[in-house]
Structure 1
Amino acid sequence: MFDLDGVLVDSRHAQLATLAGFATSALGRRVTVADLPTWAATTPRKHVLAELGHTGVISQDGWDAATATATLAAEVFPFVADTLSALRAAGVATGIVTLRSRQRVHWLLPPTVLELIDVVVCYEDAAPKPAPDGLLLALDKLGALPGDAVFLGDMESDMHAARAAGVMPIGSGWGFSAPSTLTRAGAVVVLPDAEDLAGTLLSLMGTGRRSA
Structure 2
Amino acid sequence: MTETPLGSRTERKERTRRAILDAALELSDETSLVALSLRQVAKEVGIVPTGFYRHFDSIESLGLALVDESFASLRAMLRDVRQIDPTSTGLTPFAAIVDRSVSILVSHVHQQRQHFLFIARERAAGPPAVREAIRHEIELCERELATDLARLPVTEPWSSEDLRTLSNLIVVSMVATAEAILLAAGRPEAERLVAEQARTQLRMVLIGALRWRSSPSS
Task: Normalising by structure 2, report the TM-score.
Answer: 0.30
Report which of the two has the higher share of helix: 2
Structure of greater Rg: 2
Task: Normalising by structure 1, report the TM-score.
Answer: 0.31
Report which of the two has the higher share of strand: 1
